[in-house]
Amino acid sequence: MCGIIGIISSKEVSSRIVNSLKKLEYRGYDSAGIATLVDGNINEVKCEGRVDVLEKDISKFNLKGDIGIGHVRWATHGKPSKINAHPHSSEQVSVVHNGIIENSTILKKILEKKGYVFKSQTDTEVIAHLVTDYLKKNSIKNTIIKVLKKLHGSFALGIIFKDQNDLMVGAKRGSPLAVGYGPNENYIGSDSYALKSMTNKISYLEDGEFCILKKDQIEFFDTDGSHINKKVMNLSKNEIDYDKGHYKYFMEKEIDEQPSTINDCINEYIDKYNNQVNIFNFPWKSSSIRSVMLIGCGTAFHSCLIAKYWMEQSTNLDVNIDIASEFRYRKVRFKKDCLYIFVSQSGETADTYAALDLCKKNKMKTCAVVNVVESSIARNADLVLPIHCGQEIGVASTKAFMGQMLVLYILSLKVSFDQKSITKKEYKYKLKNLLKLSNSAKKTLNVDQKILNIAKVFAEAKGSMFLGRGYSFPIALEGALKLKELAYVHAEGYPAGEMKHGPLALIENGMPVVVLAPRDEHYKKTISNMQEVIARGAKVLLITNKNKDEITSENIWEKIEVDNLDEDLIPFLMTIPLQKLAFYSALKKGYDIDKPRNLAKSVTVE
């Protein structure tokens, strides 16, 4: 993962680098660092921990310089420490890197034989020494061409050079790199948000490309060093909402924003006047699509899983799903009549992007369901369906999950209508019901008091289970993932019907178990599974929808009822108490809710 930033200017850069690093912290937050060029010499400040710590250190050193690079790290090679923090410098250059150099061990041995001394355990340090080595006999441009060819794996790089007071290099393969144009200054950054306070004029490097930045000029090159022209994009000037408002945590705010996320998304995709789905840019005839493959990672994968249930239910499509890191290495039989859908909040997840790239190379039809519309995945897919939920900052995804589910649900309605696999009446009925979702989501948010008590038990538990059937199974997986991510409690999401094939052995007295049992076709069977875990001592939190038929078990520990909407829509509502459960469990333990340990928001390494 990691975030990188570089500024080349005629004004001091360190405070602006720090500000951009704060915006990039979602990519990694175990260490941070900065290097600037002062009188031709490279000065570095690095620290273990957050950008706040770096900021304090920089103020002690009074770091000057008009050219600089900065980095926030998510450790891959070498533990999080000051020595492993980027930038990594030789006597000649300083480098920031996002990605993994897969042949770093071999390169390191070669460089060590030549007398280069390594200080860190990182893969990145080889780049600094390799560049230094090539610089002995080559120009900067030729050095970069040769070095990039030597590196295996993925990278976005920012490099500054001793004694080069008006020059910075950016390069990309696999990991994203945006290039920004400013007034008598220029920038590189892992994303456009990091640059947004300085410019809205952006280009993106493509794989294999590099650029040489000066204050008043940027030159772009392909792998062999031939000049290329780049399109300059004008991004919207809207500043990102980094304000927590009256909330203490972004996650808390993002959970509460979900009713408006739902509204915004519905307003984009549903024509309320004509009561129809508004996806007019669909580039294929629906008759040309017979199957769908949904691909994502983490929470995004869970939205793929629930979409499989919806699409199988209402369309004639053959629907498959895969985790991106598996898909990209399987021997996939590509099908011309398949639509490959990539779901990603950030649009930068390395595995999801690689899976998209594979499909593009095989000339498949591709669609991206993303939040960040300027992202690599969005820029490369044939069709982009944004989820319109605004910047999500909490590392554990909440409102983006809601948006992903909603877009996929709406897409499945559109396809089922186009294919005539549901009647016009059913289609209109489902769309009308969807308009009730935001209001019911708002009501579901009012569970804090109840969840607070429940969370005390989950927070202290050795382990927990989340069970559901049908549409509720993906939500059980997501509920368990949220608890693991935030409260560091072992949580298993399981199809309720699978319990007796092994996991039931884990149930012991007092173990908290969430049972998701909406009043659908699975209800009775799930309730039987619930009785089986209660009989073995589990403390059950039952989440269901309001219904006149009371549930007749005295042994349920706690019960939460959501609104009684159409059964397709209950999963949206059941998600909310589970997000709050994870939130309050983490709060109880005093953990860092927006930045859980070992994780990062945008996973740009394999």
Point out which span in 193-201, 261-269, 345-353, 524-532 binds ligand G6P (CB under 6 A): 345-353
325 lies in the site for ligand G6P, by CB under 6 A: no
CA pair distance 404, 361, nearest whole angstrom: 25
Please confirm, yes or no, whether 601 is among the known catalytic residues: yes
Nearest residue to ligand G6P, by Cβ distance, number only: 298
Residue 201: exposure state from Cβ atoms within 10 A (0-12, 13-18, ≥19): middle
Looking at 43, 132, 186, 352, which residue binds ligand G6P (CB under 6 A)? Answer: 352
Q: Which residue, 300 or 542, has its beta carbon nearer to ligand G6P?
A: 300
Q: How far is the CB of 74 from ligand G6P (least distance, A)?
A: 10
- DSSP helix/strand/coil, 584: helix
Smallest distance from the beta carbon of 135 to ligand G6P, in angstroms? 37
Query: Binding marks (x or -) toward ligand G6P, 576..605, rule CB under 6 A?
Result: -----------------------x-xxx--
| 434 torsion bin: left (phi>0), alpha (psi -120 to 50), beta (else) | alpha
| Shortest spacing between CB 381 and ligand G6P, in angstroms | 13
Residue linked to tokens 């990991």: 175
Q: How far apart are CA 64 and CA 600, in angstroms?
A: 30
Among the listed residues 8, 395, 406, 587, the single contact to ligand G6P using CB under 6 A? 395
Q: How far is the CB of 332 from ligand G6P (least distance, A)?
A: 19
Closest among 237, 101, 174 to 377, alpha carbons compared: 174
Q: Based on the shown chain and the rule CB under 6 A, indicate whether residue 376 belongs to the binding site for ligand G6P.
A: no
Site for ligand G6P contains 346 (CB under 6 A): yes
- The single-letter code of the amino acid at 560 is I
C-alpha–C-alpha distance, residues 470 and 217, integer Å: 57
Q: Which is nearer to ligand G6P, 132 or 397 (CB)?
A: 397
Contacts of 598 (CB under 8 A, 6+ apart): none
Q: Select 209 or 351, whichever has its Cβ closest to ligand G6P.
A: 351
Closest CA to 374 of 575, 224, 231: 231
The answer to whether residue 345 forms part of the interface with ligand G6P (CB under 6 A) is: yes
CB nearer to ligand G6P: pick between 88 and 253: 253
d(CA 404, CA 359): 21
Is residue 373 close enough to count as binding ligand G6P by CB under 6 A?
Answer: no
Distance from C-alpha of 37 to C-alpha of 570, rounded to nearest angstrom: 57
- CB of residue 479 to ligand G6P, shortest distance in Å: 14
Binding pattern for the stretch 264-303 against ligand G6P, x by CB under 6 A and - elsewhere: ---------------------------------xxxx---
CB atoms within 10 A of CB 337: 13
Does 151 participate in binding ligand G6P (rule CB under 6 A)?
Answer: no
Name the DSSP class of 393.
Answer: -
DSSP element (H, E) containing 579: helix 570-589
Longest dimension (CA), the chain: 82
From residue 215, alpha-carbon distances to 7, 176, 183 in Å are 9, 22, 9
Tell me if 487 contacts ligand G6P by CB under 6 A. no
Stretch that binds ligand G6P, among 339-347, 450-458, 505-513, 534-542 (CB under 6 A): 339-347
DSSP state of 37: E
Q: Does 482 bind ligand G6P (CB under 6 A)?
A: no
Q: Which residues bind ligand G6P (CB under 6 A)?
A: 297-300, 344-346, 349, 352, 395-397, 599, 601-603
Q: Which residues are catalytic?
A: 2, 601
